[in-house]
Amino acid sequence: MAGNGAAARGGGGRGVVISDDWPGYSLDLFTYPQHYYGDLEYVLIPHGIIVDRTERLAKDIMQDIGDNDIVVLCVLKGGYKFCADLVEHIKNLSRNSERFISMKVDFVRLKSYHNDQSMQDMQIMGEDDLSKLTGKDIVGTGRTMKVLLNHIEKYNPKMIKVASLLVKRTSWPDGYRPDYYGFEIPDLFVVGYALDYNEYFRDLNHICVINDRGKAKYRV
Ligand code: HPA
Ligand code: MG
């Protein structure tokens, strides 16, 4: 419907909402690395759906960007898959349209999790030429994003847009919402598609929920 809230906010909408009682998909229905057999509970979002949803985010971003060139700031390490797929989709859409958007890609590295717990202090590494657009993998409390945005604003970019693949429902009380997001998920610790648990599971394609055995096995 034209003129609704989602459109006014720039096309982000609510994302795909995954409800608290969503049982996920059985791991037996998909392939995944053998070294993780027994460590996962279920598949929350299969890889194909992630990629398809990201393509739509790319289209929404393209529509809002207009004729501006963009700098994509990828938040490592968890955001690298989402960022790479998003950039690829923007490139493809742009190639097949009238206006070819010029893109630069930059990276920052953030670390704020230990086991499955959010830590108080956060490290930011490698920010130098930051502007216009940021891509991130997951928004939980929103604390990480706020710290990063404070940093970026010092560079006075013309426009800042935040794209996140996932938003956890815990983030609402904190008041932070990215401009674009793929999925709104329950307050679960998830792994895969570059999201880690102590550096493990980044090599898993699907976004999955880790089980107690997996947590114990890779605890530090
Ligand atoms: N998984 C992995 N990394 C994260 C998460 C999560 O659920 N939340 C914040 N960082
Ligand atoms: Mg991590």
User: What pLDDT, in 10s, does the model give residues 136-150?
Assistant: 556 656 677 888 888
- pLDDT above 90 as % of the chain: 54
Using most ligand atoms within 8 A of CB, pick from 40, 113, 122 the residue to mutate for ligand 1. Answer: 113
Quick one: angle between helices 80-95 and 47-65, nearest 10?
A: 60
Q: Find the residues whose C-beta lies inside 6 A of ligand 1.
A: 78, 113, 138, 140, 189-191, 195-196
Q: Calculate how far, in angstroms, residue 197's C-alpha sits from the geometric centre of ligand 1.
A: 8
pTM for the model stands at 0.84
Nearest CA to ligand 1 atom 7: 189
Between the CA of 101 and the centroid of ligand 2 the distance, in Å, is 31
pLDDT of residue 113: 64
Q: What is the pLDDT of residues 139-184, one digit of tens each?
A: 656 677 888 888 888 888 888 999 999 999 885 565 678 999 999 9
**Contact status, residue 180 vs residue 60, Cβ threshold 8 Å:** yes
The torsion angles phi and psi of 13, rounded to 5 degrees, stand at 60, -155
Average the pLDDT over 14-19 and give the result. Answer: 91
CA-CA distance, 213 to 122, in Å (whole number)?
28
Instruction: Report, as an integer, the average pLDDT of 108-114.
Output: 74
**pLDDT 10s digits, 21-79:** 999 999 999 999 999 999 999 999 999 999 999 999 999 999 998 888 899 999 898 99
Instruction: For residue 144, give the ligand nearest its CA.
Output: 1
User: What is the spatial distance between Cα 48 and Cα 85, in angstroms, rounded to a whole number?
Assistant: 12
CB atoms within 10 A of CB 12: 22
